[in-house]
Amino acid sequence: MSKGKDSGSSKTEGGRPASRVSMHQIEVFRALMVAKTVTAAAEIVHISQPALSRIIKRMEDRVGFRLFDRVKGRLVPTPEAMELYADVEIIHKKIDDLNFSIHRLATGEDVAFRFGASPSLGNSVVPRALRQLRERYPRLVVHVDIVALNELVDYLMLRKGEFVLTVFPIKHPMVRNQKIGVGRMICAFARDHRLARQETISARDLADEEIIGFDVDSAHGRMVHAIAQAAGVSFRFTTFVRFAETALILAEQGLGVALIDEFTAMGAHRSIGATRLLADPFTLTLYANTSLHHPLSAHGTEFLRILKREIPQSL
């Protein structure tokens, strides 16, 4: 039998076109080749011996040549069967590889899941959600990148990670902004600060305080400005920082009052200061920013589902 492959129907020795064989027939044929006996082969594929014999006979009718000869009571593969078996083993190996890949992807075994986050989220909500994801995929390899503001778009466009978590939407025509949840704005200060006696803090309570500020173009900077503007007060900024985590640490050390999101506060491993809810109804929205052309993996989808479940959708 020639091993040449043709897109049309192949010819048998008698010139009659050979019919296609089914995957089940191939499975039974391989079992018989491996097991050597009908009894053992039937056990491998979980069918009766008469059923196996019928399947082999039907397969021989379809291919147009004998697959086995009976010699002294034993089934002996024909030369054609041996040649066919070589191709069947290649197919069997590919199916095994496919099943292994499916198992690996489903369980997260040796699969790399990579995403980015702003510093405040990377130190707060990310670890909590990752713990739950790891419970489902214990062998999943995770890469968490803390991404700077000026690197966000390149991170997504160059496919460095599946998404970036931020407290503001990334404005770009090729980026999709998915709302994950909202967090409240809070005040942070030293534990012995006079404001620690209050249950909530209003923007007017901060009029005479030293405020730790942010770059006016940052998400936190814009939010602090909006809070002051809505209350009709002017904050007195004495220190400026880039990250909310830095503002929290400075506030805890008595270097001023920080207006930050509650995500940042929940990420503090050891809080030596005090925090209070801001009475004014200001919130920051957590976004998962993804590329329009790069779909999420199963692990990415599950991770965002966990975040949505853990973070309030509205306040």
| pLDDT tens digit sequence for 95-116 | 766 765 666 566 555 567 899 9
> What letter does residue 19 receive in the DSSP assignment?
P
- Single out the residue of 275, 292, 182, 167 nearest to residue 220, CA to CA: 167
| pLDDT tens digit sequence for 5-19 | 443 444 444 455 556
Pairing of strands 210-214, 175-190: unpaired
pLDDT number for residue 308:
92
What span, in angstroms and rounded, lies between the C-alpha atoms of 138 and 131?
A: 10
What span, in angstroms and rounded, lies between the C-alpha atoms of 242 and 118?
A: 12
pLDDT number for residue 238:
93
Pairing of strands 200-201, 273-278: parallel
What span, in angstroms and rounded, lies between the C-alpha atoms of 163 and 169?
A: 12
Q: Which residue has the higher pLDDT, 6 or 134?
A: 134
Distance of CA 62 to the CA centre of its chain: 46
Strand pairing partners for 201?
Answer: 278
Q: Which residue has the higher pLDDT, 241 or 17?
A: 241
Distance of CA 244 to the CA centre of its chain: 27
**Ramachandran angles phi, psi of 154, nearest 5°:** -60, -35
> Is the pLDDT at 281 greater than 60, yes or no?
yes
Element (H, E) at 237: strand 236-241
Other residues' Cβ atoms within 10 Å of the Cβ of residue 251: 26
Q: How confident is residue 124, by pLDDT bands cut at 50, 70 and 90?
A: confident
Q: In sequence order, what are the residues at sequence separation of 6 or more whose Cβ sits closer than 8 angstroms to the Cβ of residue 70?
A: 76
| pLDDT tens digit sequence for 138-157 | 888 899 998 877 788 888 88
- Global pTM reads 0.62
CA distances for 78 relative to 24, 28, 71, 156, 255, angstroms: 20, 16, 11, 58, 89
pLDDT number for residue 3:
40
pLDDT number for residue 103:
62
What average pLDDT does this structure show over 21-33? 87
What average pLDDT does this structure show over 79-88? 87
pLDDT number for residue 111:
63
> What letter does residue 148 receive in the DSSP assignment?
-
| pLDDT tens digit sequence for 198-223 | 888 999 999 889 999 998 888 889 88
